Amino acid sequence: MTDTLDTALSTRRGIWLMIAAMVVFAAQDGVSKHLATHYSPVFVTMIRYWFFAVFVIALSARRAGGLRRVAQTQLPLLQIMRGALLALEIVVMITAFALLGLVESHAIFAGYTLIVTALSGPVLGEKVGWRRWTAVGVGFVGVLIILRPGEGVLDARSLIALAATVMFAVYHVATRYVNRVDGSATSFFYTGVAGAAAVTLIGPFFWTPMAGWDWGWMALLSVMGMSGHYLLISALNHAEVSSVQPFAYLQLVFAVMIGVVVFGERLDPAIVAGGALVVAAGLFTLWRERVRRGARG
């Protein structure tokens, strides 16, 4: 009885930590949008990644065996490529925030879980049943409602957000693949270090002198990045992924609130309807995945 109560309390704590992480990540996106209206998204991402890499190295150094053990990987090229891909995805997504806005960008981005589901069969060898394929189709309809291709020329800014969505889905699938061999600690290390190295190769070419106040915003952005990941890691330490993953969609809700209240963005009915379909389809695929794993034992 005591073990059951402790598990329930730990899961509840994990859920609240996950919600807190989504609040921080949504606020981070708001700060990213603000900075990207004045500075190159590549430059903003580079500074953000410098702080993130320090955070990752500090955490990794505290693990058993230290950095040497954490950095050991059987898939070095894939680890480096997925780390670089995430950094590039962040550049593309921040560009979408600046050009398209938080509301529509996040409504499109919510569909990444559906792409992950579609790729999990051919790439990871997982069985995807007809129910989840149906959910993928419904989610795709939601994305089309948001993009509205039938109303004229498709807005290129929406394609930027869609590109970021596909990139993040590929990164997510690659992460699941390497975790089968290397483990999450090694993957987290390469996410920060390889990403920082990749964006630093091109970031200096976009260097722009910053106003004094904007350095404060940049510092806040970096602290948010570290805090968000710390909260996320803490959430996963307290609860199973299947218990907290559905709450990741709250980032969409919080980001929409920031977009509307802070930046004066408009909640278009098509975005609301399409976003609702995408989120509903995504939640259904998560639920079916949990059922499948439960049946498998």
For the stretch 50-108, pLDDT in tens is 999 999 999 999 988 889 999 999 999 999 999 999 999 999 999 999 999 999 999 99
d(CA 252, CA 165): 13
State yes or no: pLDDT of 161 exceeds 80.
yes
Mean pLDDT is lowest, of 57-61, 142-146, 207-211, 252-256, for: 142-146
The answer to whether 170 and 113 have CB atoms below 8 angstroms apart is no
Of all helices (H) and strands (E), which one includes residue 288? Answer: helix 269-296
Mean pLDDT is lowest, of 64-78, 90-104, 172-186, 273-287, for: 273-287
Judged on CB neighbours under 10 Å (0-12, 13-18, 19+), 288 is: middle
In this prediction, residue 293 carries a pLDDT of: 64
> 77 or 153: whose pLDDT is higher?
77
> In the structure, what pLDDT confidence band is assigned to residue 145 with cuts at 50, 70 and 90?
confident
In this prediction, residue 153 carries a pLDDT of: 44
Q: What's the full length of the chain, in residues?
A: 297
d(CA 118, CA 44): 32
- Report, as an integer, the average pLDDT of 10-23: 90
d(CA 33, CA 98): 5
Catalogue the long-range contacts made by 90-95 (C-beta closer than 8 Å, 24 or more residues apart): 90/45, 90/48, 91/41, 91/42, 91/45, 91/199, 92/41, 92/160, 92/163, 92/164, 92/167, 93/161, 93/164, 93/168, 94/32, 94/33, 94/36, 94/41, 94/44, 94/45, 95/36, 95/41, 95/160
In this prediction, residue 258 carries a pLDDT of: 96
State yes or no: pLDDT of 41 exceeds 90.
yes
Average pLDDT, the chain: 88
- Report, as an integer, the average pLDDT of 211-226: 92
In this prediction, residue 151 carries a pLDDT of: 55
- Report, as an integer, the average pLDDT of 247-260: 91
> In the structure, what pLDDT confidence band is assigned to residue 156 with cuts at 50, 70 and 90?
confident
Mean pLDDT is lowest, of 40-44, 108-112, 129-133, 252-256, for: 129-133
- Let me know the angle formed at the C-alpha of 251 by 112 and 33, rounded to the nearest 5 degrees: 90
State yes or no: pLDDT of 242 exceeds 80.
no
- Let me know the angle formed at the C-alpha of 68 by 66 and 74, rounded to the nearest 5 degrees: 125
- Report, as an integer, the average pLDDT of 34-44: 96
Judged on CB neighbours under 10 Å (0-12, 13-18, 19+), 134 is: middle
Percent of the chain with pLDDT over 90: 54
Q: Give Cα 24 distance to the centre of its chain.
A: 12
Quote the tokens at residue 19. Answer: 């919600």
> 286 or 224: whose pLDDT is higher?
224
Quote the tokens at residue 99. Answer: 């050009």
d(CA 141, CA 261): 28
- Angle at which helices 102-109 and 76-99 pack, to 10 degrees? 140
Which of 60-64, 135-139, 166-170 has maximum average pLDDT?
Answer: 166-170
Q: Give Cα 170 distance to the centre of its chain.
A: 11
Q: Residue written as tokens 């939640």?
A: 283
> In the structure, what pLDDT confidence band is assigned to residue 33 with cuts at 50, 70 and 90?
very high
State yes or no: pLDDT of 152 exceeds 70.
no
State yes or no: pLDDT of 16 exceeds 60.
yes
> 245 or 172: whose pLDDT is higher?
172
State yes or no: pLDDT of 295 exceeds 80.
no
In this prediction, residue 11 carries a pLDDT of: 83
